[in-house]
Structures are given as C-alpha cells and as structure tokens.
Amino acid sequence: MKNLKRNRLLYLALASSILVILIAFFQWYLIDIITEFLMLPIWLVIFGFFIFITVKTIINLYKNKDWKPFTIQLLTILLWLFFPFTQVMLDLDFKLNKSEREEVVEMVKNGTLKPNVSYDSSLIQLPEKYDQLSKGGGEIVIEKNGDLVLFFTYRGILDNFSGFVYSPNDKKPNQSDFDGDFKQIEKLNENWYFVGSY
C-alpha cells in the first residue's frame, strides 16, 4: 500500500512537471488563441497543481526518504527558471517560417499586398494562407516610410508587442518605429530583426 502511494506521488510529480514544461513552451501560442485574460485560470490551475505536488514531495522526502518525486520537481523548477523556452520557440518560428515571410515581403514590395484595413493605413490583413505568420489576427504592419515590415510574434495591448521586422537595406529599426518604444532590437539574419516593445 505504501509502495502504491509512493508510485502515485511519482506519477503526479511527472504529470505536474510535464504540464509546467508544456505551458512554458506553448504559452505564447495559447495566448494568441485564447488571450492573456483566459490564460490566467490555466496558469493558476497548472502552477497551483505543481506547487501542491511539490509540497507533497517535500513531505514525502522527510517522511520516507524518497528522493525521486522531489528530484523531478526540483529539476522542473531549475529548467523553468533557466531554460530559455520563449527564445527556443521564437528561433523555431523564425527558421520554420522565414521563406513564407519573405514571400509576403515580396508581395508587399511588388504591390500585390497593400494596406487593406479601413481604420489603419499601415496594416495589411494577410491572406488566409499566410495569416499564421503574424500573431494576434494575421495582420502585418508597414512602417510609414514603406520600407520596414513587422510580423507580430506577440500582439499585446497598446504599445506592448514584439515581432520580426524585415528591413530591406539591413538597416537596424529605430527605437520608435511602428509607434513602439523598443527595449529590444536584435539582429537575427540578413535583413531580419527581432523587436520587443514593452
């Protein structure tokens, strides 16, 4: 019976750790689908479950000297704190979708795609085939001078956003481009930059 209880705690530790790692990897995709406000209960449930199981593993460690469940929780905490989940997902997104984003840029350059959102003359609603390339609704932004193109990776509230910027002359975007206040501008590749305004 005691063995069964220990094994159950081990499985619960594994389950809670897997959930935390999955949410760390995919949180920005989920936010894009269900918004930050609806993510709050999901975060509360997953992290609440993880904390509850972590406390149980600590008690189990003192009572039964069983390190396995506690070790799983500890490794998950260290992974969550130090592994760059968001950066890995951004790198993957950039590499996997770079050629399609360049197709869109070509369409903007040759005039096939023009601003088409009535309330904003710098926005282009992408065709359905390409709308997954820019988060938060499938729109891209053309900087007023017409050179830079922004694909959102996160489209927050007001000036809180991030994305991939195409710069035709490989010129670094200015801090105030796209009406942002960029705290982060990082070169990714020739003609491509990652920007973050928060």
Span 8-26, mean pLDDT?
A: 95
Radius of gyration of the chain (CA): 22
Identify the H or E element spanning 155: strand 149-155
Q: For residue 3, what pLDDT is reported?
A: 61
Q: For residue 6, what pLDDT is reported?
A: 60
Tell me, what DSSP letter sits at residue 106? H
**CA–CA separation, 136 and 132 (whole Å):** 9
Span 101-121, mean pLDDT?
A: 89
Cβ neighbourhood burial of 33 (10 Å; 0-12, 13-18, 19+): exposed
Span 140-159, mean pLDDT?
A: 83
Q: For residue 194, what pLDDT is reported?
A: 95
Question: Model confidence over 25-64: pLDDT tens digits?
Answer: 998 888 888 877 888 999 999 999 999 999 999 999 999 8
Q: What is the dihedral of CA 98, 156, 76, 51, to 10 degrees?
A: -160
Cβ neighbourhood burial of 42 (10 Å; 0-12, 13-18, 19+): middle
